[in-house]
Structure 1
Amino acid sequence: MIKIKSPDLNLLESDHIKGLFTIVSNRLDKYLKVKQVILQKYSLREILVGDPETLSQIVDYLEGKLNSEDKLNLKKVFNYESFSRSRLYNAYSLAENLHVNVCPYCNRQYTFTINKTGNPKKTRPIFDHFYNKNTYPYLSLSLYNLIPCCNICNSSFKGSLDWQFFSHINPYDSGFGDECRFSLKINKGFGSDFYFGKTDAFEIKFTKTSNSKILNNIGDLALEQVYEGHKSVVSELIKKEIMYSDSYISNLYHQFEGTLFSSLSELKSIVYNSPISEEDLGNEALSKLRRDISEELGLNNY
């Protein structure tokens, strides 16, 4: 849903190569037959840090060339469990480098990384394998195949579904953007109740799109169903539309301009808890819902 925007992908790739290349290369040397197959067209570097489209090309090339024994050996080479447990470069290292604080699949759950030396209380996002690691073990440690996400998206919904670059949105490549937005559908017979923020008066839907990748993400991650549980957020926005008139907003702005607010857009963003730009969507949970519905209600007209 939300594109992952890392501060410095080049540095991220460099750290990933530095942390994994030698280890994986040494393991691969133990299986010369399978090494010859997987490195015949693509380098180990491309496998580890190739972009989402390159990973798709690697899959297209390798599938059909590897038998079940080859894949069992590749699980030992590209060992995700070993990476997770490593005392050096590991899943916590990657999570800290990424700075992804909200699940990019659903934009509902926070995915903060807490990993302080000497403190046993630790947490990080779950890393989903966009290409599941059982079917595509050679991509188990590929940077752009490791999607930092929440446990609900990873375990409850996606699991080991067979996602492909051509069939689903990879958050490293893109998000829904304005191609698919949240929208409200007012239920029949509840017109007046809607304007008082009654939650049974409306449903949260996505706008129609012909993008099959977006539709597949919505379906597989049950996004419409889970967002029905966030009607109270929309109800709050509807009530604020009534509470905060244009004149009241204007008075607040002129009263605190230059001290609390640098612009009218910043004031409205605070009042409606709605991000100003696409760049801000990955910082707060439910930010896309708030922004899309705020714009649909006309709350962000400046």
Structure 2
Amino acid sequence: MLFIENYQDAKDYHNGLLKCWFNSKLYTETERRNNQFQCTIRNCPSCVKDRKYYSKTLHEDIRRLIKQNIDCILTGEVGQLVEFYETNSSLLNENSLEIENFFVNSAYKNFFQTNCAEEFLNLLNKNTCIYCNRNYTLAIVKGRTRAEIDHWLPKTHFPIFAVSFYNLIPSCHSCNHLKGAGEDAEWWVKNHKEIANPYSDKGTFDFNYTFSKSKNEFEITFENVSNPKIRRMIKENRLREIYSAHREFELRDLHELRLKYPDNYLKDLLAKTFSTSISEEEKYRLIFGIDKNEENFHKRPLSKFKNDIIKKLLSL
């Protein structure tokens, strides 16, 4: 898993436009004038398209709960979201269908995903899937999002967090559907502290592998897992299974560089193929098609995996 850093611009954009949207849905026109709310988002789609549509269907207790806790709902970290859910679970569960319609259908699908997700993902600026780093998430057609958005706390169990900033993870289609959803909301309440969140729980691990000569087979392994949350993340996001699917391609190619060529071939390839004027980062891009620096792993698929395997091969 990669980690999401330098996200303040995306967070400011998300918070500004959704506060505007919620303001238009939760308050009457008279109340909005009294609040003197000022939208700060240029060409805000809520101002342009949705401001006149005051939602009359919300139960008054739910409306009051959202008004009083809008900052937590929009920008609270995962621990704060779970605490909010536990405190208000009875009311939320009693009105689950109403909340799902308001947050999942109206706020997320009809407003955010349709009007804002493309710009939100552009501001996060991640070229590959946060979970697997094997698939590009680039925009192809104007108006289509460059990635899917996974809900770290599944919106199936927590519809009220469908547009919560720290709950929105840019991912590829495969990871969005492979990632475990847990058994129910209580499973996440119990286990959320044990699983790394890409925004807040940065940690390290190294890819490695074993090779059975008799079977001519590889097995993906993980080493130096410094944070138990990362270990749980590897399990819940099926990273072993995902990367096992690549072992007969990228892994075998790198492994055979070590088996079929002289011991120093890989080192010579990096040291002597190009003139000394070219940087090591540029060599990795040209030879292996990956980025070497951790902060740039997101730019090209499999950068983390290949870097770790190459490091292992160079040490043999």
TM-score, structure 1 normalization:
0.77
Taking the aligned partners of 1:167 and 1:283, their CA distance within structure 2 comes to 28
Aligned mate of 1:233, from 246, 250, 261: 250
Taking the aligned partners of 1:265 and 1:156, their CA distance within structure 2 comes to 32
Shift of 1:201: 3.7
Taking the aligned partners of 2:102 and 2:192, their CA distance within structure 1 comes to 23
Shift of 1:217: 2.4
What amino acid sits opposite 2:5 in the alignment?
A: K
Shift of 1:13: 2.0
Taking the aligned partners of 1:107 and 1:159, their CA distance within structure 2 comes to 20
Aligned 8 A contact 2:290 2:300 in 1: no
Q: Structure 2: which 5+ runs fail to align? A: 28-57
Mean Cα deviation higher: 102-111 or 48-57: 48-57
Aligned 8 A contact 1:102 1:282 in 2: yes
Aligned 8 A contact 2:121 2:146 in 1: yes
| Other-structure match for 2:10 | 12
Shift of 1:182: 0.9
Taking the aligned partners of 1:67 and 1:168, their CA distance within structure 2 comes to 24
Shift of 1:250: 3.3
Q: Structure 1: which 5+ runs fail to align? A: 191-199
Question: Greater relative contact order (Cα 8 A, min sep 6): structure 1 or 2?
Answer: 1
Matched position secondary structure for 1:91: helix
What amino acid sits opposite 2:304 in the alignment?
A: K
Aligned 8 A contact 1:275 1:281 in 2: yes
Taking the aligned partners of 2:8 and 2:145, their CA distance within structure 1 comes to 25
Does residue 257 of the first structure (1) align with residue 276 of the second (2)?
A: yes
Matched position secondary structure for 2:170: strand
Aligned 8 A contact 1:84 1:91 in 2: no
Taking the aligned partners of 1:289 and 1:205, their CA distance within structure 2 comes to 11
| Other-structure match for 1:286 | 302
Aligned mate of 1:135, from 157, 161, 173: 157
| Other-structure match for 2:195 | 168
What amino acid sits opposite 1:142 in the alignment?
A: S
Report Cα offsets for 1:249-276 as digits up to 9, x if no partner: 43334xx233xx1x34542453344432
Report Cα offsets for 1:211-232 as digits up to 9, x if no partner: 4432332223222122111112
Does residue 31 of the first structure (1) align with residue 53 of the second (2)?
A: no
Matched position secondary structure for 1:101: coil
What amino acid sits opposite 1:222 in the alignment?
A: R
Flag the structure with higher helix content: 2
Aligned 8 A contact 2:281 2:292 in 1: yes
Shift of 1:133: 1.4
Report Cα offsets for 1:148-186 as digits up to 9, x if no partner: 1112112244356554531322112234x43x2211112
| Other-structure match for 2:19 | 21
Q: How many matched pairs?
A: 275
Aligned mate of 1:52, from 71, 78, 81: 78
Mean Cα deviation higher: 271-280 or 236-245: 236-245
RMSD between superposed Cα atoms in Å? 3.0
Shift of 1:296: 1.3
Aligned 8 A contact 1:133 1:139 in 2: yes
Taking the aligned partners of 2:285 and 2:222, their CA distance within structure 1 comes to 22
Aligned mate of 2:229, from 196, 208, 213: 213
Aligned mate of 1:111, from 107, 116, 137: 137
Aligned 8 A contact 1:125 1:149 in 2: yes
TM-score, structure 2 normalization:
0.74
Taking the aligned partners of 2:266 and 2:91, their CA distance within structure 1 comes to 65
Does residue 181 of the first structure (1) align with residue 179 of the second (2)?
A: no
